[in-house]
Structure 1
Amino acid sequence: MTDSEIRAIEQTVTNPAQRLIVALAAVHATSSGTIRHLTLDDLDLPNRRITLAGHNQRLGELTLRALRSWLDHRRAVWPHSPNRHVLLAGRTALETKPVSHIYILDAMRDLGVSVDRIRTDRILHEALTAGPDPLHLSLVFNLSISAGSRYADIAERLLDSQLEHDATGQ
């Protein structure tokens, strides 16, 4: 993602659900399916921990603030919901199902970017800054080794291209 795209997203995010979705994708490289299925039991706010797709991680400040804001909103709007999923909508607040994939698409539509694009950008950013190590990417983002290898290969090509560009001065 370009710097201008990132700034546009920051300025466009208007509600707590969007902030949470963006934070989970941008910080933890969380997929939309994992975001949809996140439950209250996956959160340990006092210890600043979150479990994403079975992978326990530390909560950074951005994600923690987004979670607290969303949970305050959730409690105010649906104080007696039986649904244990973190994200709720009018219909799912009365059920026990997760929000639909359409809910995530709709939340992101105004931003002009998908969760997958933010997620991919986050993984590539890690590969470019920490080095294109497939094992590191697999451990940090709970990816398969083959997925970690694909991201590492892309990062390696980008880094090689940048080195060639710097060497030629163009």
Structure 2
Amino acid sequence: MAFKERYGASPLHLLLVLGSFALTGYAGIRLLSGQEPWMVVLWFAGAALLHDLVLLPLYTFTDRAAQIVLGGLHRPPGPPAGASSAPGRSWVNHVRVPVFLSGLLFLTYFPLILQRGNRFTAYTTLPDDVFLGRWLLITAVLFALSALTLLIRLFRSRTTSSRRTPEDDSRSGAAAEA
């Protein structure tokens, strides 16, 4: 009990943190032990700058623009105005998640998707012209599942709000005033 009070978490947490530091250190040593370690450092610095100075403003602007343009869509029932959560923005995550996953897949496999992986067929003897179609299919499935999830949430919120009686509303209003 004294360890948890002093450290703030269980000993297992400390063990996992130390293990992750050890694994990160090992990976860093292996990565930097190549012939030109300064290239790895330059690549990481360039990636950080590219993300912070170009990509972050770009996807923040895109997200805000989508919220403004699509903000007039149906707003699911939720807490009254002025409450802590924004009910009209609950649909946004149903767009963000498939876009993020699709973008991550594209970022990982873009040489194959754009057929720039010249050595892929030579190394694997597999065709390299199927990745664009598969990525588009995965993206469509991600958006379809997200839309289905949103429709289920909207249906459940409507059935829940239609079951409420005026007495429920007066009780919740009295509880909020107290």
TM-score range, shorter chain: under 0.3
Q: Which has the higher contact order (CA 8 A, sep 6+)?
A: 1
Structure number having the greater helix percentage: 2
Structure number having the greater strand percentage: 1
Q: TM-score, normalised by structure 2?
A: 0.27
Structure index of larger Rg: 2
